[in-house]
Structure 1
Amino acid sequence: MSTRIFARAALVGAGALALLGPLTAGTAAASAAGQEGVARVKAAPYAVVPYENVNVRYGPGTSYGKITTSPAGQPLGAYCWTRGERITDNGYSNDVWVKLLEGYVSAVYLKGNEYGDLPSSARC
């Protein structure tokens, strides 16, 4: 719960800082994109944070196509977790995948507990 609040506060603070700089076309576009990201995180009941760049996929496994890659440290709106393909990387291994607005990410790449810091009761 505290990670989600902190992530949301950081996003709101980052948006405010972007608005304090000189307002150029590039800054305005970046600010609009940042606000869209904030809205996406706020729309979901949880926020998760990848500790490295992470592939977002259509389903809970590497056999599903890649939708996009989310950068490390960027909070993502999350809904629930499910079991899928077991992933092993950086000394960690589990079969938990977190459902985002955009798709699924392996919890192995998310900060927090084995569920990507979602509560164990948030199963899809």
Structure 2
Amino acid sequence: MTIARITAALGLVFAMLLGGVATATAATPAGTAAPHGTVTYTKVLAWHDDEVREKCPSTVCRLAGVLKPGIPVNGYCWTVGDSVTVNDVINYIWVRISPDDRKPLWVSAAYLVGGKYGTLSADDECPNVS
């Protein structure tokens, strides 16, 4: 990783920590449905490589890619899933990073900047996750 990329990533982290988290609203793409009927999201940011899982919040679900540190993505809601242990801390929270109900994508909050839910609030729980 170049010094410029490291500096940019650290700048994003400090901006989120000092300036709060922006909440945005976007239009739903044609033919997709957002979780809990809205497209409101909060930017989330990984501090370490975070595996993106397809269809369910579990380490046994199909790996869809890796969320790299310093790249903000949209976090729509959270749910309880498989446990992930990082630095002796166990976290069961997974954050949904795709609005499409046909292909939900999940990342463990254990690797997200912020608290237990990354930067989502405790009120942003996903409804009816199977």
Runs of 4+ in 1 over 3 A off after TM superposition: none
1:66 equivalenced with 2:83 (yes/no): no
* Cα distance between partner residues in 1 of 2:71 and 2:117: 17
Which residue pairs with 2:41 in the alignment? Answer: 45
In structure 2, give the amino acid aligned to 1:96. I
Q: Which residue of 2 aligns with 1:57?
A: 53
Partner of 2:75: 78
Larger Rg: 1
Q: Secondary structure at the match of 1:47?
A: strand
Structure showing greater relative contact order (alpha-carbon pairs closer than 8 Å, 6 or more residues apart): 2
Q: Which has the higher helix share?
A: 1
Match of 1:116 in 2: 118
Give the percent of matched residue pairs that are identical in Structure 1 and Structure 2. 31
1:44 Cα shift?
Answer: 4.9
SS of the residue 1:108 aligns to: helix
Farther off after superposition, 98-107 or 75-84? 98-107
Deviations 1:43-90 (A, max 9, x none): 651110000111100110100011011111110111000000011012
Equivalenced residue count is 89
Distance, in Å, in 1 between the alignment partners of 2:65 and 2:20 is: 24
Distance 1:65 1:3, change over 3 A: farther
Instruction: Provide the TM-score with structure 2 as the length reference.
Output: 0.62
So what's the TM-score if we normalise by structure 1?
0.65
